[in-house]
Amino acid sequence: MTPTTPSGADPSTGERLSTQDPPLLVERSGEGETPRREPEGGSSPRGPRRRRELADLPPVVRYAICAGILGAAYLLPWVGRVPVIGPQIQTQGIDWPSALFNMSYFVLLALGLNVVVGFAGLLDLGYVGFFAVGAYTVAVLASPDSDLDQRWPWLACVPVAIGVCLFSGLLLGWPTLRLRGDYLAIVTLGFAEIIRVFADSSSLLRGDRGLGSIPHPPGNWSDGSPIFSVRDATPYYWLGLTLIVLMVLAVRNLKASRVGRSWLAIREDEEAAELMGVRTVRFKLWAFAIGAAIGGFGGVLFAGEQGFLNSATFQLMFSVLVLAGVVMGGSGSIPGAILGGALISYIPDRLRGVQIAGTDAFEYRFLIFGLMIIIIMIFRPQGLLPDRRRVATTQDQEER
């Protein structure tokens, strides 16, 4: 009669395991199966393990933490009143609320590009084109300088601009369905250049002369003065932050849905996903369209705050910076996209007014930013706040 090992016992020694012991892993070889114990803390990096611990907290605690972070974000315009730390955080060469607003639309762009690059694995170097489409749609419909002379209010322009951006995403995605990697990047780069050249040469968009007197978002204070004006960018920042919260909730739900799982399958192996029944054409088009719509929100905000647009605003470097922010924060990670988008806006603005050897540090912004990216990619190649699933996949590939 063959002796049996009691439940919960180590099969190699017969000793009963404590409930605190790490789990046993089985290694198969030519000599049979050899159990081994997983190292304490597992093999996952410290960052993802901390996020798992956060996910294990009771819902009430998680909501309280999120509410606290969100409340602190809304109070950032007054961070300068915090002793010692506040003045070090505030920008010097640019108004602090304006710097916060810049961060808000860069974060929106990073969230949208993260859908395309991080979730679906589609390399897009022309993302600034969708930003320009959203901004110019508002300008053409609302500016008195436009040949259309419609003079729509800003709020009425928003759904039209987002609809045009959605169509632009489909227009870019349809002919590029069979392209991957570098070839897809070149085509998207061409899309951004088409938008820039059209804006520069079209009489409708007025090139360098631009479109001015674009209306601001509606609303008045109790004394009758407008909430959104050129005097204070704080309301614009609050509006941008509110949009970020809505976009995060929408993208998070998409990531956890069937659409998000299909994007993940396409990102990891498109051919295998097709064989498993994933309709890659449909979901790649969705990725382009949704990413374009989120980028369009950034353009709509930008046009409403600036009040003026011309063709020099939308350069290729814009797309490169947003892509660098997504990769630096952690491709495929929503918190990573938020952090990366905020950093690519905050770092250059923070350098304004800081003197290095008698020269404004803003002149060295690309040098400093490039060095930071190199350091991060060497010591943290998965990004500052990486996606847990992507980290696990990369780690599994390295172990093989």
Does some domain include residue 378? no
User: What is the DSSP annotation of 158-194?
Assistant: HHHHHHHHHHHHHHHHGGGTT--HHHHHHHHHHHHHH
- Mean pLDDT of all residues in the chain? 84
Helix or strand (DSSP H, E) at 36: strand 32-37
Residue 209: inside a domain, yes or no? Answer: yes
Paired strand residues for 309: 211
Q: List all residues 6 or more positions away from 87 whose beta carbon is below 8 Å from its beta carbon.
A: 80
> Lowest-pLDDT range, 10-24, 66-80, 275-289?
10-24
Indicate the number of domains in the chain: 1
Lowest pLDDT segment from 302-306, 374-378, 391-395: 391-395
Work out the pLDDT band at 47, boundaries 50, 70, 90: low
What is the model's pLDDT at position 50? 57
- Please state at what angle helix 96-113 crosses helix 280-306, rounded to 10 degrees: 170
Q: With a cut of 60, say whether residue 22 has pLDDT above it.
A: no
Question: Is-contact 199 136, C-beta < 8 A?
Answer: yes
Query: Residue 384 corresponds to which tokens in the numbers above?
Result: 């500052």
Tell me the residue type at 330: G
pLDDT band per the 50, 70, 90 thresholds, residue 265: very high
Q: Structure tokens of 188?
A: 């998207």
> What's at 250, amino acid-wise?
A
Q: Please report the pLDDT score of residue 138 as a whole number.
A: 95
Q: Say yes or no to pLDDT of 14 above 70.
A: no
Concatenate the DSSP letters of all residues of 137-161 into one string: HHHHHH-TTSTT-----HHHHHHHH
**What's the rounded Cα separation, in Å, for the pair 136 and 176?**
24
Q: Is the pLDDT of residue 122 over 60?
A: yes
Residue 260 lies in a domain: yes
Could you tell me the CA-to-CA distances from 397 to 147, 268, 337, 400 in Å, in that order?
57, 12, 24, 5
Average pLDDT over residues 197-204: 89
Amino acid at 265: A
Q: Residue 62 pLDDT more than 80?
A: yes
36 pairs with which residues across the strands? 25
Beta bridge partners of 16: 9
Q: Is the pLDDT of residue 247 over 60?
A: yes
Check whether 41 has a pLDDT greater than 50.
Answer: no
Confirm whether 242 is domain-assigned: yes
- The whole domain housing 129 covers 94-315
Rounded to an integer, the average pLDDT of 94-101 is 93
Look at residue 306 and give its three-state secondary structure: helix
What is the rounded CA–CA span in Å between residue 54 and residue 42? 17
337-355 mean pLDDT? 91
Question: Distance (Å, rounded) from C-alpha 319 to C-alpha 323?
Answer: 6
Q: Is residue 248 part of a domain?
A: yes
Q: Is the dihedral of CA 250, 256, 260, 264 positive or negative?
A: positive
Has residue 73 been placed in a domain? no
Instruction: Identify the pLDDT of residue 399.
Output: 62
CB atoms within 10 A of CB 339: 20
- Residue 49's CB is within 10 A of a number of other CB atoms, namely 14
d(CA 109, CA 133): 13
pLDDT band, very low/low/confident/very high, at 313 (cuts 50, 70, 90): confident
Residue 179 — pLDDT band, cuts 50, 70, 90?
confident
Burial of 384-399, coded b for 16+ CB within 10 Å and e otherwise, reads bbbbbebbeeeeeeee
User: How distant, in Å, are the alpha carbons of 145, 194, 375, 387 from that of 336?
Assistant: 40, 30, 17, 8
Is 289 part of any domain?
yes
Distance from C-alpha of 254 to C-alpha of 264, rounded to nearest angstrom:
11
DSSP line for 82-101: STTHHHHHS-SSS-HHHHHH
63, burial (CB in 10 Å: exposed 0-12, middle 13-18, buried 19+): exposed
pLDDT attached to residue 154: 94
**Residue among 298, 294, 329 at smallest CA distance from 313:** 298
pTM: 0.84
- Given a cut of 60, whether residue 48 has pLDDT beyond it is no
On whether residue 141 sits in a domain, the answer given is: yes
- Which position has the token pair 């694995």? 121
The Cα–Cα gap between 18 and 51 comes to 26
